[in-house]
Amino acid sequence: MTLSIHGRVALVAGAGLILGATITGIATVAGLAPWLAVLIGAGIGTPLVVIITARVMARPLKVLRALEDGVDGFNAGDFSLRLAVENTDELGRLAAVYNNIGEVLGQERTDLRQRELMLASVLEASPTAVLLINPVDRVLVANRSARRLFGEGRSLDGRTLTETIDTCPTPLRDAIECGREGLVTIGVGGAEESYQFTRQSFELNTRHYLLLQIRNVTPQLRRQEVAVWKKVVRVVGHEINNALTPIRSLVGTGRRLVESGDPTGHLPEVLEAIDDSATHLHHFVDGYRTVARLPAPQPEAVDIRRFLEHLQELEPFDLAPETPAITATFDPAQMQQVVLNLVRNAREAGSAETVIGFRIRGDDLELQVADRGSGMDEEAMLQAVLPFWSTKESGSGVGLALCREIAEAHHGSLQMAPRDGGGLVVTILLPGVLVES
C-alpha cells in the first residue's frame, strides 16, 4: 500500500511526537526536572522530525519544480518536457496528467502547424492576390500573386496599405481606397486587364482585420467575349437574312410589276415595304456600329448640376441633394448618352428609384448611378460590359459596353458593384476633369 503525501507527513509528525514523549519520559525517570525533561525531548525530537520531513518532501518538491518548468515550457510553446511516473500516489497521478496534456497539446500544435503550412502553400499557389491587413493598417499576409501585383515580387510584410497600393494603377488604387467592390479595368502594357475586387472585415480576438482579394478575370472575360462574338455573328447573320429575304422577294415582285406596266398600282406599296425593311436593317446595324466607331471625345466646360437637371427632363431620376455646384470638362453629348443608358437600364431592371450623385476626389470626379432593381451577380457583372451581351430578349447588348467605351475614352473607367439593400451601383470615374469646386 502506498501512503499519500498527507499520510507520510502525518506519520513523521506522529513518530516525532512519540519520540519526543519517550525521551521526555526517560529524562523524568532519570530524576531530571520536568521542564528540563520536556526541553530535552523537544530539542532531540524536533530536529529529527525536520530532517525526516525534509527527506519525505524532497521528491514532491522536485516534482513540483519539474511541473513549474514544464508549464513555463507550455507558455513558450515547448511541449516536449515529460515527467517520470515512479509511484501511483498524488504526485504520480499529477505527473501522468501533465504528460497526457503535453502529448495532446504537442499533437495539436503539430496538426495546427501542418494545417498552417498547407494553407500557406494553397495561398501561395492561388492566382488571386490576397492581402491581410492588421489592425494598425500594415500588411500581415501577402501571397505570391499580391507580391507580383503590388511589389514586383518583393516582400510586402510590414508595409502600410497606402505604401502597398501606391504604385498600382489608379483605378485599382481608387477602388481599394474607397472600399468599392466590383469589376475594375486597367491598362497594362498597352492591353486591358480586368480585376474583380472584394474586401472583407472581420474581428479576431477583439482586433479588427481587413482581407482584400483581387482576382484577374481577364482570361475569363476573353473567353466570354469570344462566345459573345460568336453569338453576334449568329444574331447579325440572322437579322440580315430576315431583312434581305423579304427585300429580295419584294424586288422580284416589283420587277414583275414594272414589266407588266403595274396594272394593279401596287408598285408604290412594294417600294414602301422595301424601304421599311432597309430602314430596319440600317437601324439594327447602326446600333452595333456605334460601339466600333465611337468618335473621340470633344471636352468642354460643363456645369454639373445644370447638366443633370437637363437630363432629368429627358429621363426622370432622383438627384442626390449633396450634388455640388461644380464645373468639369468632358464631352457632354457622350456623357449624356452614358447617363441616359444607365438610367434606362435601371428602369428596365425593375427599379422604382434611381439616384444619381457625384463625388469629388481631388481633381477626379465620380458619377454614381444607384438603383433598386434586380441587381446582378458576379458572373453577370463580368459579362454585362461585353459588347452585344444582354439579358433582355430585345436588347442589343450595346448600352453598358458603350458606356465603358465612353468612360475609357475620357481616360476613366466603369465599375459595378452590388448596392446594400438590393440593386446595383454603377460608377463612372472621370480623372482630372474638375476645374472648379
Residue 12 is predicted with a pLDDT of 57
Number of neighbouring beta carbons within 10 Å of residue 37: 19
Residue 80 is predicted with a pLDDT of 74
3-state secondary structure of 2: coil
Question: Residue 361: left if φ>0, alpha if ψ -120 to 50, beta else—which one?
Answer: beta
Domains 127-216 and 300-436 share a fold: no
The rounded distance, in Å, linking the Cα atoms of 423 and 355 is 11
Residue 1 is predicted with a pLDDT of 45
Residue 214 is predicted with a pLDDT of 86
Which residues are within 8 A (CB) of 362 and not within 5 positions of it... i.e. 6 or more apart? 434
Q: Please state which CATH number belongs to domain 300-436.
A: 3.30.565.10
Q: Which residues pair with 358 in a beta bridge?
A: 367
Q: What does the domain layout of the chain look like in residue ranges?
A: 5-109, 127-216, 221-292, 300-436
Number of neighbouring beta carbons within 10 Å of residue 309: 12
Q: What are the angstrom distances between the C-alpha of 417 and each of 173, 338, 339, 346, 384?
A: 16, 17, 17, 14, 12
Number of neighbouring beta carbons within 10 Å of residue 264: 9
Q: What are the angstrom distances between the C-alpha of 15 and each of 41, 44, 89, 361, 376?
A: 13, 13, 22, 90, 89
- Please list the pLDDT of the chain residue by residue as tens digits (437 residues): 455 555 565 555 666 666 666 766 666 666 666 666 666 656 666 666 666 665 655 566 676 777 777 777 777 777 777 767 666 667 677 777 777 887 888 788 888 888 888 888 888 888 888 888 888 889 888 888 888 888 888 888 888 888 888 877 777 888 888 777 777 777 665 667 788 888 888 888 888 888 888 888 877 777 766 666 666 666 666 667 766 777 777 777 777 777 777 677 777 776 777 777 777 677 666 666 665 566 788 889 988 888 888 888 878 888 777 666 788 899 988 888 888 888 888 888 777 777 777 777 767 888 888 888 877 777 777 666 665 555 554 444 556 777 888 888 888 888 888 888 888 888 888 888 777 55
Which of the listed CATH numbers 3.20.20.140, 3.90.79.10, 3.40.50.720, 3.30.450.20 matches domain 127-216? 3.30.450.20
Q: What number of CA atoms fall less than 13 Å from residue 209's CA on the CB side?
A: 14
The answer to whether 91 touches 60, Cβ cutoff 8 Å, is: yes
Q: Which residues pair with 200 in a beta bridge?
A: 211
Residue 415 is predicted with a pLDDT of 84
Residue 100 is predicted with a pLDDT of 83
Largest CA distance in the chain: 170
The rounded distance, in Å, linking the Cα atoms of 392 and 377 is 16
Q: Grid coordinates in use for 305?
A: 448640376
